[in-house]
Amino acid sequence: MYQIPRGTRDFTPEEMQKRLYVEENIRSTFQSFGYREIQTPTFENLELFTAKSGETITDELYSFKDKGGRDLALRPELTAPVIRFYVDKLQMEPKPLKLFYFGNCFRYDRPQKGRYREFRQAGCEIIGVDTPEAYAELIALSYIILEKLGLKNIKLNIGNLKILKTLFNKYKLTEKQQKYILPLIDKSQFEELKEALEDFNLSPNNINEFTEALQSSDVNKINQYIEKNENIEKEILRQKQIMELIREAFDIKNYQFKLGIVRGLDYYTDIVFEIEAPYLGAEKQLCGGGGYELVKLFGGKELPTAGFAIGFDRTILALETEGYQFPISTLDAYVIPVTEEMITKCLQISQQLRKQGFTVDVDLMRRGIGKALKYANSINSKKSIIVGPDEIKQESVTIKDMKTGEQKTVEIKNISEYIK
Ligand code: AMP
């Protein structure tokens, strides 16, 4: 017997039903905000992902040489591919450009519940605008997507890397030191962070102040931690405007400002945000996004870019944990031949009904009616159409309602009215 590769999964029809529900629902929400769907390849040139993050990222990638000796990688995320696509072919498009996508991503992670080596993301990028209303709409969209899927207990956290940078500057942290502590801040590892800051010779007072600022959730009080200048005052005002719009225009109240939201990936530079399902434990983060800079690095003309990605797997885990009742797949009718002579008639009736838009299956096993009806039940067929030699002489069939058990003789030409 062959084993499935570590960190990957097979999906049963029932699981696929949930995944398709999530995909269709997310697609319609994106479209309702004027986003248009795109697709990029599953693998890219390796350098697309090392350009910003450096060679060390290859430890986390599925990278390989193809037969022509090219260095390639399965995509770990979709923002870099979408920006490559934008720089290559979409720069002349009218702005803002609102793009969304679905795609499987691959990371050489340590697998655990909610963390896989192949996982599916839904995401979007908005290119060419960074007004407060653009950010408010983007952040609200991520929340509304999850809310529309049926999630009730989710939390939105919004940070700002420009404000955070001024805090770094206040304590004169070098680029290298910043790079070292960002993952610690991202994972809220405050003990390790304190140790690092001690190593960087910050005074105990400064260390306390620094970690307090990271955990502060009041944007009005953030002033007290940073050195004031005109630019930062403007940035704080912008942050407040965005949060006010999220509340006033989109009626989202369940959010908080958190300077410690920094995101794992290297290319974020602006507002950043995350949505979590607190009850999921370590892998509670469902969505992450923010403003970033990649266009210039990829050879395009710099302009504002922002986006977010939502993980399918954790979203489904969260819905299941909240007890959400996913829609179940049903069939309009299951057609059963009583004798072998009825098989052709059954196939004809099924095909006729499919042409009229019904979902119909037909018994292919030449088994007794009892067993066929049991199967019809197991695949959630609403009706069974039993085709027997006596009824067929009158151009009729028997229709059984699988819920009530009620049976009726119906003329073939009228079947569609009875299975609506
Ligand atoms: P990121 O691209 O790391 O910002 O992740 C965006 C979202 O993708 C996260 O919030 C998760 O829901 C999901 N995600 C990231 N990594 C994994 C993984 N290894 N397995 C499953 N979902 C993931």
Pocket-testing residue among 117, 121, 275, 292, ligand 1, by greatest number of atoms within 8 A of Cβ: 121
The pTM (predicted TM-score) of the whole model is 0.93
Ligand 1: distance of its center to the CA of 112 in Å?
A: 12
Index of the ligand 1 atom closest to the CA of residue 117:
19
Q: What is the pLDDT of residue 227?
A: 80
Are 257 and 217 a contacting pair, CB within 8 Å?
yes
pLDDT, average across residues 34-56:
93
Handedness of CA 287, 31, 98, 46 (dihedral sign): positive
pLDDT band per the 50, 70, 90 thresholds, residue 80: very high
Q: What is the pLDDT of residue 160?
A: 94
Residue 66 to residues 53, 73, 82, Cα–Cα distance (Å): 22, 10, 22
* 3-class DSSP assignment, residue 267: coil
Q: What is the pLDDT of residue 289?
A: 97
> What does residue 94 show for φ and ψ, rounded to 5 degrees?
-60, 150
pLDDT band per the 50, 70, 90 thresholds, residue 186: confident
Atom 21 of ligand 1, residue of closest alpha carbon: 115
Residue whose C-alpha is closest to residue 292's, from 162, 187, 164:
162
Q: What is the pLDDT of residue 382?
A: 98
Ligand 1: distance of its center to the CA of 213 in Å?
A: 27
Q: What is the pLDDT of residue 179?
A: 87
Cα separation, 308 vs 146, whole angstroms: 13
Residue whose structure tokens are 């630019």: 231
Residues within 6 Å of ligand 1 by CB:
77, 107, 109, 114-116, 119, 121, 264, 285-288, 309, 311, 313-314
Index of the ligand 1 atom closest to the CA of residue 285:
10
Question: pLDDT per residue over 217-246, tens digit each?
Answer: 888 888 888 888 888 889 999 999 999 999
Pocket-testing residue among 52, 313, 319, ligand 1, by greatest number of atoms within 8 A of Cβ: 313
Question: pLDDT per residue over 106-141, tens digit each?
Answer: 999 999 999 999 999 999 999 999 999 999 999 999
Residues 6+ apart with CB under 8 A from 367: none
Ligand 1: distance of its center to the CA of 138 in Å?
A: 18
Residues of the chain with pLDDT > 70, as a percent, come to: 100
Q: What is the pLDDT of residue 221?
A: 82
Q: What is the pLDDT of residue 40?
A: 98
pLDDT band per the 50, 70, 90 thresholds, residue 52: confident
Q: What is the pLDDT of residue 196?
A: 92
